[in-house]
Structure formats: structure tokens, C-alpha cells
């Protein structure tokens, strides 16, 4: 077998794992995040943490936005907390991305030594006391006289950070705003490179947000959600090669959207929109999708007759609160299954009254041992049918 044939087979194997996760996806009508999160002015640039427990975003008038955080606890988003004067300024601070709760990177138009478009990239490490340290300019060669915004960053190796960001009219670009990448290797920033076509075009590209395939090691295969000419797209990079972008469906794009932020399980998309039904100029919204199997299940008698099932946070590290509702008294089984179909944990068996119910899974199996990280299935069974949700446990 020649090397070309071998490479084709490898790519086919990768696609067999990577692509079916997203085929036949059914994105649902976006839901406004409500008055705890949204206000009368601009709510912008959401970032959801890996475990889904914290939402960072910018809030306020356009000329002076501050970065806030809300924690998901007890089944709901908690009141907002301003990140304080070490992060926020009298200028506009936005586009937060948090790296392992140890560093935050964001864009700001506060004074800097650079010319041109006034927004540049800043960062702040979290000090041992748990307080964010004073913000610092990332500086050259990442920052320059072109403007930088909408950063997204992830560890690519033990000593390598990968940064994706948007930059305006930087030499070597495709035109207007483009998405660039830069690596920080052993503490030293490398010269940014343009992602090139087919990701970038002659129009506006910004707001990169990457989901890493749990089926492939490292960052070899990724999906990047981003904005192109004010529409939401995704593009897949497999073995270093970017494939043509795909526009998200109209249920996401109609009504305006910006700064998509995908959850680690690639199941929920948070974004900014000025669509009808908001509380202010721009609000935060979210949309979830179901696979073809889940879509069929939602058309089953079990779903249509009043069974509901969800789990938050998802993904989780220590515990996930599982909520389900019944419209009548009924005997149910609530279980956790592994990918191999083996039952891992029985959470509930027996009769339940009508209404809302909550059960917590602490990541243990029936023997009291901690299960490994990975994908699990949560199944609620009743006489009239069953519902199944995916549940991702992190290390």
C-alpha cells in the first residue's frame, strides 16, 4: 500500500469518528438567558467554562463595558459578580476567555503603545489568594498596530498555549478582519500566522471558539465555531488541514448573532444577539441540539406525554444535578450507562409523584468507586417510554 492510499484510509477513519457527532443535528430555537444575566444595556461576548459551571461575559454601555461572571448553582444562574478593578477599567473591557481558572485573557481599548484600531489583548493571572492580578498587555508580536479582539486560548501541550484571535488588516491577511493564531512556547510568544482560506475570506471573520474532539488526541482534530460576515459558521481541522466552513442553520443565525461559545460536550451554544424578545440592546442566548436519535426520542410518547430530563452542569467534574419532571404519579428507573451499554449506577427506582424531581450523581458507580472521565448516558425509563441524555465527566 502506498503512502497516499494509507493517508486516505486514515482520514476516512478519522471522519468516521469525528463527523457523525454532528450529522443530522437538530438545533433548537434559542432561549434568552433571562433577567439574572441580561439587562437593559449590552450583554456581550459570553464564555462558558469547560465544566459549564461559570459564565463570563461583558456587560454595560458600549463605551464602558465591564467583565462579569455568574456561577451555575442549585439549578440556576446566580447573581453577577464584577471581576473588579484589576480587570475592568474606565474603558471597554470584553471578550473574556478563562484558561483553567488560572488566567483570563480579554480585549480592551484602554491606552496602549500601539496605533490603529484601539482594541488589543490583555491578560491577568489569578494570584494564590484567588484574586485576579493586575491586567497586563500581551504585547508584541501578538499585539500590534492593527487591532486585536475576540481571543480564545487553550493549552496545546505542557508548555505550549494556542491563542486564536481576530485582527484587522494585519499584513498577510485575506482582507478586513481575519482569524489568526499564535503560540506561546516555553513562555515566549511566537509570531502570529493567518489561518488562511477557506476559514478566512475577503470579508469579516472573528470570534473563534474551539471544541476539541474527545475521540482524537490533543488538538489534532478540532471544530472551530466563529463569525463570518456576521453569520455563525463552523470549520473542522483534521490532521492540520482546514475544511470548508459550514453555516449554522437559520434558527441560530436569523435575528443576528455574535461571539459563539460552545460547551465542552459540543451540545450547547451560547451567543450574543439583538433578536426580538430580549431585555436590552443585546442579550445572551443559548441553543442546544439533539442528534437524530435524540430527535426521534423527543417525538416518542414518553416525551410528548410529559416526561422531561436534564442534567447540570454538563460536563461536570465532581457532581451533576439531574432534574426530571412527571405530569402524573408513575414508577420510574433512573440509571447511568457507559458507552459499552453496561449499567454503571442506579440512581432511582420506584414510584414518584407528579412534578419536579432532582437527583445528584457524584460520579461513583454502584460499588462506590469513582468512574473514569468520558461520555456516559443518563436514562429515565417509565411505562410509557424512556428518555436518554448524554453526560460528560471530566478529569
> 294-393 has which fold?
Immunoglobulin-like (2.60.40)
- The residue-averaged pLDDT of 24-36 equals 83
Confidence band (pLDDT; 50, 70, 90) for 180? Answer: very high
CB neighbours of 78 closer than 8 A, spacing ≥ 6?
36, 70, 71, 72
Q: What is the pLDDT of residue 65?
A: 97
Q: What is the pLDDT of residue 296?
A: 47
Q: What is the pLDDT of residue 212?
A: 64
Domain with CATH 2.60.40.2550 in the chain: 294-393
- The residue-averaged pLDDT of 152-163 equals 83
Q: Across the chain, what does the average pLDDT equal?
A: 84
Q: What is the pLDDT of residue 12?
A: 40
In 3-state terms the chain splits into helix, strand, coil percentages (rounded to 5) of: 10, 50, 40
Q: What is the pLDDT of residue 5?
A: 43
- The residue that leads in pLDDT, 67 or 6, is 67
Q: What is the DSSP letter of 70?
A: E
Q: What is the pLDDT of residue 291?
A: 52
Q: Name the grid cell of 29.
A: 430555537
**Whole-Å CA distances, 161 to 100, 189, 234, 357, 388:** 12, 9, 22, 42, 36
How many residues make up the chain in this entry? 395
Angle (CA) 337-392-257 rounded to 5° is 135
Domain with CATH 2.120.10.10 in the chain: 27-290
Q: Does domain 27-290 have CATH number 2.60.40.420?
A: no
Per residue in 366-394, pLDDT tens? Answer: 999 999 888 788 888 887 677 888 788 87
- The residue that leads in pLDDT, 260 or 328, is 260
Asked if residue 195 has pLDDT above 70, the reply is yes
Asked if residue 189 has pLDDT above 80, the reply is yes
CB neighbours of 161 closer than 8 A, spacing ≥ 6?
99, 153, 154, 155, 183, 184
Amino acid at each position: 500500500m502506498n503512502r497516499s492510499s494509507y493517508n486516505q484510509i486514515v482520514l476516512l477513519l478519522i471522519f468516521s469518528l469525528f463527523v457523525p457527532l454532528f450529522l443530522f443535528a437538530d438545533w433548537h430555537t434559542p432561549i434568552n438567558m433571562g433577567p439574572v444575566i441580561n439587562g437593559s444595556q449590552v450583554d456581550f461576548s459570553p464564555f462558558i467554562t469547560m465544566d459549564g459551571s461559570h459564565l463570563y461575559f461583558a456587560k454595560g454601555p458600549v463605551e464602558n463595558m465591564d467583565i462579569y461572571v455568574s456561577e451555575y448553582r442549585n439549578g440556576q444562574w446566580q447573581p453577577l459578580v464584577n471581576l473588579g478593578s484589576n480587570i475592568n477599567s474606565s474603558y471597554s473591557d470584553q471578550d473574556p476567555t478563562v484558561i483553567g481558572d488560572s488566567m483570563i485573557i480579554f480585549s480592551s481599548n484602554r491606552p496602549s503603545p500601539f496605533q490603529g484600531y484601539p482594541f488589543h489583548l490583555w491578560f491577568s493571572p489569578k494570584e494564590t489568594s484567588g484574586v485576579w492580578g493586575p491586567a497586563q498587555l500581551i504585547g508584541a508580536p501578538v499585539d500590534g498596530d492593527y487591532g486585536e479582539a475576540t481571543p480564545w486560548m487553550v493549552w496545546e501541550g505542557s508548555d505550549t498555549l494556542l491563542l486564536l484571535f481576530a485582527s484587522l488588516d494585519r499584513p498577510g491577511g485575506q482582507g478586513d478582519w481575519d482569524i489568526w493564531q499564535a503560540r506561546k512556547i516555553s513562555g515566549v510568544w511566537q509570531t502570529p500566522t493567518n489561518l488562511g482560506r477557506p476559514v478566512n475570506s475577503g470579508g469579516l471573520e472573528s470570534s473563534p471558539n474551539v471544541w476539541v474532539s474527545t475521540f482524537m488526541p490533543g488538538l489534532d482534530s478540532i471544530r472551530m465555531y466563529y463569525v463570518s460576515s456576521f453569520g455563525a459558521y463552523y470549520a473542522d481541522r483534521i490532521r492540520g488541514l482546514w475544511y470548508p466552513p459550514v453555516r449554522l442553520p437559520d434558527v441560530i443565525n436569523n435575528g443576528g448573532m455574535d461571539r459563539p461559545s460552545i460547551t465542552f460536550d459540543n451540545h450547547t451554544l451560547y451567543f450574543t444577539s439583538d433578536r426580538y424578545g430580549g431585555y436590552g440592546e443585546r442579550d445572551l442566548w443559548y441553543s442546544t441540539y439533539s442528534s437524530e436519535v435524540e430527535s426521534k426520542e423527543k417525538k416518542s410518547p414518553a416525551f410528548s406525554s410529559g416526561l422531561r430530563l436534564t442534567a447540570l452542569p454538563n460536563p461536570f467534574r465532581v457532581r451533576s444535578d439531574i432534574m426530571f419532571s412527571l405530569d402524573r404519579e408513575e414508577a420510574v428507573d433512573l440509571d447511568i450507562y457507559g458507552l459499552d451499554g453496561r449499567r454503571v449506577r442506579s440512581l432511582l427506582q420506584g414510584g414518584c409523584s407528579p412534578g419536579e424531581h432532582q437527583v445528584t450523581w457524584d460520579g461513583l458507580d454502584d460499588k462506590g468507586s469513582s468512574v473514569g472521565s468520558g461520555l456516559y448516558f443518563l436514562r429515565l425509563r417509565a411505562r410509557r417510554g424512556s428518555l436518554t441524555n448524554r453526560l460528560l465527566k471530566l478529569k
